[in-house]
Structure 1
Amino acid sequence: MYQSARAVMLNAPIAKVWDMVGDFHGLPKFHPLIKETKRENGGLWRRDMFAGVDAGSLEERLHYSDRAKCYSYRSLNAGGGAWPIDSYFGKFKVWSRGPERTGVLWSAQMIPTDPEAGADSLTAQLVENQTVGLSGLVDHFGGAPLPVPEHAYAASAIAHLNTTPDQVWSFVGDFFQIADWITIVGTVKKVSNGRRFVKLKDADQIDVETELFRDDAARTLSYDSRLEPDSSYPCDDYIANLKVWPRADGTAGLVWSGQFTPTNPDDEATINTVSDMMASEYRASLEGLVQQFGGNMVSNQAKPSQQPLAVSV
């Protein structure tokens, strides 16, 4: 839901590509729509100034791994504050496809302020931004588009619940009480404000999860998961979002969505397995809330087209 991903293969070794892509402030080096990036907050934030547009998008770098060649970031005012969304997260992943070949994956996800208003135009803007930016890399290094799997490394589930949005939010919005409704969670330990250890049922796996963004007025939260080294999930990065909104009849809508960065973007079989696990977990948990509050599950929105990039090589 409201997610996109694009990828290219470049004719250059991974060290050269990561030197450019991994520079949080280096978008103007390859993205033709961004004329400059201004450093703010000691370099932890960047303000992307788009060519021909006065408004700048202020963004904060989050998880960064030189070893895994990936990083994620959060927009503090997506589209210069012009987009009707509550939050936005983007991710870059670079991986080797041989001595002189490198893959680059750029994915993004967002939470719309009104999930029932439709987001075709917003999704189209995500896709265009990724397409143009990655085309700039192809122009610089040479290369070709890579097809992106239909699932786009993501899953989502939506439910309409026969109770008020405030009641739903008081239940699912408690960051430390997820064992009450997420079916696979066994126990949760509060480490600090906004940080928890999550132990899954029937498993030794422990996930370290951090609240990245919270807006109680908008009934929205986002969190990431840092998996333990022996985790069965082959992911470098995972960010998920919860959003509760008021429907026209006074009842509540709830969407749980998430997107991950695969450790090996070429391993489509494993990626499909992880996506299916996410989708199953999301749906089972929301079905439990439907049983508790009444209501119904809603079919997931159609995913955006994941055709290869239309760039010349």
Structure 2
Amino acid sequence: MASTSVSRVVPASPERVWNLIGGFHALPDWLPFIAESTPLEGGRARRLRNPEGEVIVERMVAFSEAERHYAYAIVESPFPVTGYLSDLRVHAVPGQPEAAEVVWSGRFVSEGASEAQVVELFTGIYRDGLEALHATVVG
């Protein structure tokens, strides 16, 4: 099983950042490569659509408002992986009330591509996503 993790400090309080990204269906609010999020299964799953029209279906597997994180599994996607599980977390930065560290991580088994290629793919998605989050916050 392969894994990758990317973190980024953004110039906003952890509460403000969590209010922006903590909703399971909030990806289109800050992630430009997700154009649409449709709730499924009473909100426990989401159907995402990217600008090219590709569909990704994800199911929430853990959520904590108090700890500011959620985890999700990919059910259907164009990605060459199986067993994908990801976690999105917001942490306080000690001594900096107007800063938050966001950590986006995932683990998966590559299928149809090399492990290195899939790690590079998701590292890029997480890095570009957190860069977009930073840009949204500084607005």
* TM-score of the two chains, using structure 1 as the length reference: 0.41
Structure 1 residue 195 and structure 2 residue 58: aligned?
no
Paired amino acid for 1:214 = F
Query: Identity of counterpart residues, as a percentage?
Result: 23
Render the CA deviation track for 1:52-98: whole Å, top value 9, x for unaligned. Answer: xxxxxxxxxxxxxxxxxxxxxxxxxxxxxxxxxxxxxxxxxxxxxxx
Structure 1 residue 256 and structure 2 residue 104: aligned?
yes
* Structure 1 position 242, deviation (Å): 0.7
Structure 1 residue 286 and structure 2 residue 130: aligned?
yes
Report the CA distance shift for 1:288/1:218 in structure 2 as closer, same or farther (over 3 A): same
Consecutive aligned runs of 4 or more in structure 1 exceeding 3 Å deviation: none
Map of 2:18 onto structure 1: 169
Map of 1:275 onto structure 2: 119
* Structure 1 position 196, deviation (Å): 0.8
Map of 1:24 onto structure 2: none
Q: CA RMSD in A?
A: 1.7
Render the CA deviation track for 1:246-281: whole Å, top value 9, x for unaligned. Answer: 1111121111111112236xxxx5332222121111
Paired amino acid for 1:274 = V
Map of 1:238 onto structure 2: 84
Map of 1:127 onto structure 2: none
SS of the residue corresponding to residue 117 of structure 2 reads helix
Paired amino acid for 2:48 = V
SS of the residue corresponding to residue 35 of structure 2 reads strand
* TM-score of the two chains, using structure 2 as the length reference: 0.87
* Structure 1 position 202, deviation (Å): 1.2
SS of the residue corresponding to residue 176 of structure 1 reads coil
Measure the CA separation in 1 of the matches of 2:32 and 2:7: 16
Measure the CA separation in 2 of the matches of 1:179 and 1:237: 24
Could you say which structure has the larger radius of gyration? 1
Map of 1:17 onto structure 2: none
Gaps in structure 1 of 5+ consecutive residues:
1-106, 108-152, 295-313
Map of 1:148 onto structure 2: none
Measure the CA separation in 2 of the matches of 1:207 and 1:288: 19
Aligned residue-pair number: 135
Gaps in structure 2 of 5+ consecutive residues:
none
Map of 2:55 onto structure 1: 206
Map of 1:144 onto structure 2: none
Measure the CA separation in 2 of the matches of 1:208 and 1:243: 20
SS of the residue corresponding to residue 185 of structure 1 reads coil
Query: Structure with the greater relative contact order (CA < 8 A, sep ≥ 6): 1 or 2?
Result: 2
Contact in 2 for aligned 1:186/1:200 (Cα 8 Å): yes
Structure 1 residue 155 and structure 2 residue 1: aligned?
no
SS of the residue corresponding to residue 257 of structure 1 reads strand
* Structure 1 position 216, deviation (Å): 0.4
Paired amino acid for 2:129 = S
Measure the CA separation in 2 of the matches of 1:183 and 1:280: 14
Paired amino acid for 1:290 = H
